[in-house]
Structure 1
Amino acid sequence: MTEEAAPRQVPAQASIADPVDRRVVAGFGVRLELRRQLSRWPTRLAWGLCLALPFVLVAAFHLGDRRGVGEASFADLATAGAANFTVFTVGAAASFLLTVVVALLAGDTVASDASHGTLRYLLAVPVPRGRLLAVKLTVSVLTAMVALLGLVVTTYVVGTLAFGWRPLRTPRGDEMAAGEALGRIVAMTAYVALTLLVVAALAFLLSVSTDAPLAAVGGTVMVVVVGAILDQVTELGPIRALLPLHYADAWWGLFTDPIRLEELAKGGVSTLVYSVAFLVVAWWRFLRADIVT
């Protein structure tokens, strides 16, 4: 029995050095992880929501009653043309929908593998932990940015078909030519993407801290919502400026004359500081974690 058992142990002992496992290690990268991410339902759901939103809003505006509506905000001017429709849609989506989308994509990436046991297999192959985190973070941010760009492009095209190509009108009564407005929208998109990095970094931190994807996603959304509520408490005074997303709406300054660069600069610095801090903690926790699932 001893002689018969010995051959059965050889493959098990050599499994880590098996050529197939070496190919997994060598092949693990952004391209492979991107294919895996695209096959998951959170990615498809996130992209689907972003692409569907402009159509839902156009239908809502056509079905709604616009009589008596003033021009006090971009919401009131949303049907003035494609540029106005895009500014309103992206601004409205950035306040909640895009937060959920980014939290879903970044919060699911590591925690999902941990819950299915895939994470332990990758580390046993072994894939270096730092490399694994870098790849997963890159892919989650990439898919989130694609969702944002898809929303912006789809909204502009749908807005052009529904409301025409007209100069952008601001609540103050100013007008911007279509070309200039398009440039401002590109800058707006870049700023929104920058502020969403805070959400992605926080979701990624929670994702490496739990093996429950819903906990990482839900925890991120809850923190953002609580932060938004605290930001409305004026009694906090200057303390509100320390909240991670206090300057999330500073992109409105891009549509004033002159542009409010001070608020945009403060928002950019705040975003980078919090994003780096969350990611440093995420790396520190994961590199020292005992992966048992």
Structure 2
Amino acid sequence: MSALTQGTEGPVEEAAPGYRAGRTLPLRVELARQLRRRRTAVMFGILAVLPLVLVAAFAIGGDPGGRSGQVTLMDTATASGPNFAAVNLFVSAGFLLVIPVALFCGDTVASEANWSSLRYLLAAPVPRARLLWSKLVVALGLSLAAMVLLPLVALAVGTAAYGWGPLHVPTGGVLDAGPATGRLVVVVAYLFGSQLVTAGLAFWLSTKTDAPLGAVGGAVGLTIVGNVLDAVTALGHWRDFLPAHWQFAWADAVQPRPEWSGMIQGTSVSVTYALVFFALAFRSFARKDVVS
């Protein structure tokens, strides 16, 4: 703990012997706490099962085929393992991958307040900035792990079901399996970067409410609003400032000749919003009256 001594310039706070603020709430401790939670296992389980569900759907409904002479990424799902992994990212990028990010980042602080354990962590004493930093790093790490898990399982399942081969591009041409795998790594990195705005929003809301569902639901709801606004073509170039406008820019990375401009713009927009929300989270939590 700490003691107060009276000096010539007023009270001076002295730390207890051996106390180091940087050693409180280590990342490994916070990570172990979050991994033991049921919602973490359920979320990873859902993402791991999705590829199996898609394989079963293709087995029941038959191989996908082009409609009206148009070939989409979905139509190439059964061409190879890399194609199947790309399709899993395609069907989940718009909404499914938003959920683990909002869950891990929105539930982390609000759940402590809901359990009435937040004040005990701060009384340990864990500095507020240190507590938020540990929780943010672990939440982002779990979010990244969720995004990596899906394509890894999909690649394994797809290879077992459809074989290992090149990535067939809907617009024509193929990418050898090796370069295609590298491109998928780039896609996952971009998806993580594009979801940082959701992470920042959920984390900020988590410091503002004691209801985890409110923080998670608020982040997901506002993400949906962004998708709706992006569909309003009357907004014109204003849509360029919406993170949702760039959510499928990663498709340019799986072309024979990749185009990076859309991904760069999308990442810039998302990171800018995220930094603002993270700053708001630290600012509001530093001034928050923690009573639970």
Q: TM-score, normalised by structure 1?
A: 0.89
Is 1:220 the counterpart of 2:219? The answer is: yes
Is 1:275 the counterpart of 2:274? The answer is: yes
Q: CA deviation at 1:245?
A: 2.7
Q: Give runs of aligned pairs for residues 146-185 of structure 1, distance below 5 A.
A: 146-185=145-184
Q: Could you say which residue in structure 1 is the equivalent of 2:39? A: 42
Q: Take 2:195 and 2:46, find their aligned partners in 1: how far apart are those partners?
A: 17
Q: Secondary structure at the match of 2:100?
A: helix
Q: Deviations over 1:31-62 (max 9, x none)?
A: 10011101112211111111111111111111
Q: Give runs of aligned pairs for residues 201-212 of structure 1, distance below 5 A.
A: 201-212=200-211
Q: Could you say which residue in structure 2 is the equivalent of 1:259? A: 258
CA contact (8 A) 1:184 1:254 kept: yes
CA contact (8 A) 1:165 1:178 kept: yes
Q: Deviations over 1:178-204 (max 9, x none)?
A: 111111111111111111111111110
Is 1:60 the counterpart of 2:61? The answer is: no
Q: CA deviation at 1:69?
A: 3.8
CA contact (8 A) 1:192 1:248 kept: yes
CA contact (8 A) 1:245 1:271 kept: no
Superposition RMSD in Å: 2.0
Q: Deviations over 1:237-292 (max 9, x none)?
A: 01111113321111011122432211111112112111101101111111111111
Is 1:290 the counterpart of 2:289? The answer is: yes
CA contact (8 A) 1:247 1:263 kept: yes
The residue type paired with residue 128 of structure 1 is P
Q: Which has the higher mean CA deviation after the structures are superposed, 61-70 or 209-218?
A: 61-70
CA contact (8 A) 2:193 2:270 kept: yes
Q: Take 2:171 and 2:66, find their aligned partners in 1: how far apart are those partners?
A: 15
Q: CA deviation at 1:68?
A: 5.3
Q: CA deviation at 1:26?
A: 4.5
CA contact (8 A) 1:25 1:125 kept: no
Q: Deviations over 1:108-167 (max 9, x none)?
A: 100000000111111122210000000000000111111111111111011000111121
Q: Structure 2 unaligned runs (5+)? A: 1-14
Q: CA deviation at 1:65?
A: 3.4
Q: Which has the higher mean CA deviation after the structures are superposed, 240-249 or 274-283?
A: 240-249
Q: CA deviation at 1:23?
A: 10
CA contact (8 A) 1:94 1:192 kept: yes
Q: Take 2:97 and 2:253, find their aligned partners in 1: how far apart are those partners?
A: 20
Is 1:28 the counterpart of 2:25? The answer is: yes
Q: Take 1:67 and 1:122, find their aligned partners in 2: how far apart are those partners?
A: 53
Q: Take 2:63 and 2:145, find their aligned partners in 1: how far apart are those partners?
A: 33
Q: CA deviation at 1:24?
A: 11
CA contact (8 A) 1:247 1:264 kept: yes
Q: Percentage identity across aligned positions?
A: 43
Is 1:97 the counterpart of 2:69? The answer is: no
Higher helix share: 1
Q: Structure 1 unaligned runs (5+)? A: 1-16
Q: Take 1:23 and 1:238, find their aligned partners in 2: how far apart are those partners?
A: 50
Q: Could you say which residue in structure 2 is the equivalent of 1:111? A: 110
Higher strand share: 2
Q: Could you say which residue in structure 2 is the equivalent of 1:3? A: none
Q: Could you say which residue in structure 2 is the equivalent of 1:5? A: none
Q: Take 1:67 and 1:50, find their aligned partners in 2: how far apart are those partners?
A: 22
Q: Take 2:65 and 2:248, find their aligned partners in 1: how far apart are those partners?
A: 27
Q: Could you say which residue in structure 1 is the equivalent of 2:3? A: none
CA contact (8 A) 1:72 1:171 kept: yes
Q: Secondary structure at the match of 2:208?
A: coil
